[in-house]
Chains A and B, each alone.
Chain A
Amino acid sequence: MELFTNQVLAGIATGAIYACMALAVVMIYQAIDHLNFAQGEMAMFSTFISWQLMQWGIPYWWAFLATLIISFIGGIAIERLLFKPLAKAPILTNVAGFVALFAIVNSVAGLIWDFTIKQYPTPFGSSPFLGSQLISTHQAGMIGVTVLLLILLFLFFQYTRMGLAMRAAASLPESARLVGINTSWMIALGWGMASAIGAIAGILIAPVVFLEPNMMGGVLIYGFAAAVLGGLSSPLGAVIGGFLVGVFENLAGTYIPGVGNELKLPIALALIITVLVVKPAGLFGRPIVKRV
């Protein structure tokens, strides 16, 4: 039983990483209706910016704030420069654009900061949390920040004019334009917010996986999986999906014989596909109703 509890706790700790990333994924999906494959790389780049600021002697929280602002502006700039011209192009062309962005960001980060692994500080400390060896205070802090972010997002989308306008622009662009919403800028805003949330995710993840240009590779896959599992239309679902994927991955690795580290990923993905086959909109997603 103790093994079980420990594995669940460890799963929740890794799940927090996936939940963070999944939240950023859902955020941009809400705004532009695509999965951004370059999301992880953008988050990695933001994390490097904050690291660089700290190297220049700026205190942690100021660097954090500055990174959020830079990432927000950067996200908007990427949308305006690269993806607005592609808005009318086919979806698949957009996906190719994400792959291109992925290659560019990854390579530029590698050139500026090289591929050596760097330590990244945590504001929460890394002592055991409440006497448990499996969850450190950093991981507890990470879960806390994720939940806080979720609540803020919920309030933003539910109770502010801007949030409502963004939702309208995403779900029914034509009607939104008719009531005077600038849908084009709403998309840019969605990119900015997704980029900023990605930056938070990156900064929280970096102390665990260490900072390097390829740090997001594995995380993003799980982030996507978590987002799809929870339902792409639901930020809450994404976070729960993140924790579920983390826990399941750990339990499968422990209890199913023959599943070593190698089969962890396929097993987690197989679970997700099974869920999707039964519930195609994800656990918490709204089923998409199409007009015939």
Chain B
Amino acid sequence: MTLGLGTSLVVLAALIIGPMFVKNFIIFQMTMLLIYALAVLALNILTGGSGQFSLGQSAFYAVGAYTSAILMEHGNMNYALTLPIAGVICFGFGFVFGQPALRLSGVYLALATFALAAAIPQFLKLGVFERWTGGVQGLVVTKPDAPFGLPMSQDIWFYYFTLAISIGIYIASINLLRSRSGRAFMAIRDNEIAASAMGVDVALYKTLAFGVSAGITGVAGGLGAIAVQFVAPDGYTFTLAISLFLGMVVGGVGWLPGSIVGSAFIIFVPNIAESISKGLSGAVFGVLLFLVIFLVPHGARDVLKLVAWRRN
């Protein structure tokens, strides 16, 4: 058994057994851990896979969250059915946004995606859409009960529901990156001109990467809306996009299992910083972030490599 597989199994076991022994609030945090891990994973497919940079993931997350919330509250739809719809809508949105993004790279792409992140909360606040979006106040989402009369609290049920979806998407993503499309993404990342000379349709695969990434982020957003039981424009600002970006860097760019490490970083480290010093929480967070990037410049992957190297 390889080290990587062993670690994955241990993490998986912890994720399955963990909730049986902890309080409801921690279960909620673990649910958010999985949801952000999905969003980080999505960004990782885009940046680590196809080499495109995005500071606008919060926009796709918001669209997914609002799609689920509106369908559940105004359309009385089952929560589980809203998620694929959120995913498909975000896939389309990302695919369309990928078109102008084709002409941009590096900082220019960063600015364009950032513009998207800045624009979405403002659009959600607009009076025209207030009937559906609830304007600045947002929407309250009801949390689903466990089905089939299972003896579980809502939190625990939703945690396992999220876990199942996360594992499904994780396996699908790994397979995607190993497939023909995934190899095309990576060829574009490493050398666009060489890739196009090899017959890779650069424009198609670049927009496809945007679409897939946005779609997964949308599903994460939908799950997030149900977990938090609330959507409001100010929950999906630029700060969220930055957090997801940090999660990706800390977890390791292009290394999908790192997504959960990155997600843990962006959920727990601000709390740790807060508990170390209230007034200086931002500074403590910054220092911790610097420590991480100094010690492991390629993210959590470096840690695993180091352990593997020690063992041999």
Contact = CB atoms under 8 A, between A and B. Distances in A.
Contact of B280 (A86, A95, A107): A107
A96 interface: yes
A111 B293 CA distance: 25
A289 to B, nearest CB: 13
Q: How large is the interface on A (under 10, 10 to 19, 20 to 34, 35 or more residues)?
A: 35 or more
Contacts of A221: 114, 118
Interface string B83-101: 0000000000000000010
Nearest to A285: B108
Nearest to B191: A292
Contact of A100 (B107, B125, B248, B286): B286
A262 interface: yes
A228 B107 contact: yes
Nearest to B279: A111
B297 A93 contact: yes
A101 B294 CA distance: 13
Nearest to B109: A276
Interface string A258-292: 00001101100110110011001000000000001
Nearest to A88: B297
B249 A96 contact: yes
A90 B282 contact: no
Interface in A195-245: 221, 224-225, 228, 232
Interface of A: 29, 34-35, 82, 85-86, 88-90, 92-93, 95-97, 99-104, 106-108, 110-111, 221, 224-225, 228, 232, 262-263, 265-266, 269-270, 272-273, 276-277, 280, 292
Given A100-B285, A100-B290, A228-B111, 11 more contacts: A89-B293, A89-B297, A93-B293, A96-B246, A96-B249, A99-B245, A107-B280, A269-B119, A273-B115, A277-B100, A292-B193
5 contacts: A96-B246, A100-B287, A100-B289, A232-B107, A265-B118
Interface of B: 47, 53, 100, 103-104, 107-108, 110-112, 114-115, 118-119, 122-123, 125-126, 193, 242, 245-246, 248-250, 253, 279-287, 289-290, 293-294, 297-298
